[in-house]
Structure 1
Amino acid sequence: MISDGILTERMAAGDQEAFEMLVTRYHGPLLSYASGQLGDRQKAQDMVQETFLRLIRHLRRHGALEHVKAWLYRVLLNLCRDYWKSSAYRSEGLAGEEFPETADDAAGAQEQLEQQETSSEIAASLEALPDVQQHIISLRFFHDMKLQEISEQLDLPLSTVKTHLYSGLRKLKKVMAAQAEPSRESEVYSYGSSVR
């Protein structure tokens, strides 16, 4: 597989095929990330498109990039943040809307339901964490980014990223355990009342 660095060198020289290869490599993950951030797939598509346009402009001005993946995610996150601050976001009233996950035709209905419930539980639990911990956990586990890439994207020291990741995971575990307790108690209660 051709490295990102070589692809950006070729893109900087005007190679259309290299651009298409890079878009193929990162479009899906970036769209998934932006959809999760914005809760609006169409708006996410616009943000991803703008991210790639900015990449082209950057390469024309400055040449190849060493850490393309981290650069793409950082630009996309900044675009999302700018959008959240904009009057367009407030007027469209998108806050709080959720975008439905696309269903995998190969998976059975029961399996899909369980996956959606688990994803919803994790997403709900993540909301209990500070924003920076949410972002780091999401990038690490849902977007498969390395800690160094996250460090570069969020412009934080690697040690800070590690601290946020581990403390966030500890909090997430506690939140999820606390959420599981009431359902266990109701199961025990319903079992006990049916025995009588």
Structure 2
Amino acid sequence: MTTTDADAVRLVLEGDAEAFKILVDRYYDRCLRLATHLLGAGGDAEDAVQDALLRAYRHLGAYQERDKFSAWLFRIVVNQCRTLGARRRGVQALHERAWIEQGDGEPAEEHPADREATREELQRALSRLDADQREAVVLKFAEDMTYDEMAAVTGVGVSALKMRVQRACKRLRAMLTETNHV
């Protein structure tokens, strides 16, 4: 039988520190992927996740069961990434996501041999976005979060997040189009 997040939290709060391993095993990879998208590959992302997990453990009593545990934990990871200065760092490529669109709204088609070049261009373009726009794009498209989930993670309103994603996509399209026409 699978232990739910709420059950694992309850066990930890009752003194079973080993139960936190259930949550770490369940969410570590997603937290690391999120941190990597925000900070770039390397030690900073791993450090952010380790610090976030430590903070989550220490503040587990503040977790409210009405919240989704993953959103609560991702909020801690995002805040830790902000603290580590994600503003000008490189960002892991988001691969072929729907937000890299052509003017007609269809995903851009690319030959498999061009994927690495596309990843590098995308990485450069993402690193040029403002941190708040980059964060919104990563949460929306790399983590497939809804706007409500994004709001829970970031503490920013849904309408502001929609605007950030829209502006980021517009700017990314312009940067990538500019790169491809040079």
TM-score over 0.5 (shorter chain): yes
Does the CA-based 8 Å contact 1:35-1:41 persist in structure 2?
A: yes
How far apart, CA to CA, are the structure 2 residues paired with 1:159 and 1:36? 23
Does the CA-based 8 Å contact 1:39-1:98 persist in structure 2?
A: yes
Does the CA-based 8 Å contact 1:8-1:64 persist in structure 2?
A: no
**Cα drift, residue 72 of structure 1:** 1.9
What is residue 20 of structure 2 aligned with on the other side? 19
Structure 1 residues 62, 127: CA separation in 2 closer, same or farther (over 3 Å shift)?
closer
Does the CA-based 8 Å contact 1:9-1:63 persist in structure 2?
A: no
Structure 2 spans left out of the alignment, 5+ residues: 94-110
**Cα drift, residue 2 of structure 1:** 5.1
Number of residue equivalences: 162
How far apart, CA to CA, are the structure 1 residues paired with 2:90 and 2:174? 26
Does the CA-based 8 Å contact 2:37-2:138 persist in structure 1?
A: no
How far apart, CA to CA, are the structure 1 residues paired with 2:38 and 2:125? 16
TM-score, normalisation: structure 1: 0.66
One-letter amino acid matched to 1:76 = V
| Aligned-CA RMSD value | 3.1
One-letter amino acid matched to 2:80 = L
State the Cα deviation string for residues 108-135 of structure 1 (Å, max 9, x = none): xx95x64432222222222343321111
One-letter amino acid matched to 2:70 = K
Q: Does 1:7 align with 2:8?
A: yes
Q: Does 1:149 align with 2:149?
A: yes
How far apart, CA to CA, are the structure 2 residues paired with 1:17 and 1:117? 44
What is residue 193 of structure 1 aligned with on the other side? none
What is residue 101 of structure 2 aligned with on the other side? none
TM-score, normalisation: structure 2: 0.71
Structure 1 spans left out of the alignment, 5+ residues: 86-94, 101-109, 183-196
Instruction: Write out aligned runs for 1:1-196 (5 A).
Output: 3-16=4-17, 18-39=19-40, 41-59=42-60, 61-62=61-62, 64-65=64-65, 66-84=67-85, 114-182=114-182
Structure 1 residues 181, 33: CA separation in 2 closer, same or farther (over 3 Å shift)?
same
How far apart, CA to CA, are the structure 1 residues paired with 2:50 and 2:43? 11
Equivalent residue of 2:84, what SS? helix
Structure 1 residues 116, 143: CA separation in 2 closer, same or farther (over 3 Å shift)?
farther
One-letter amino acid matched to 1:119 = R
Does the CA-based 8 Å contact 1:41-1:99 persist in structure 2?
A: no
Which structure is larger by alpha-carbon Rg, 1 or 2? 1
Does the CA-based 8 Å contact 1:5-1:64 persist in structure 2?
A: no
One-letter amino acid matched to 1:38 = L
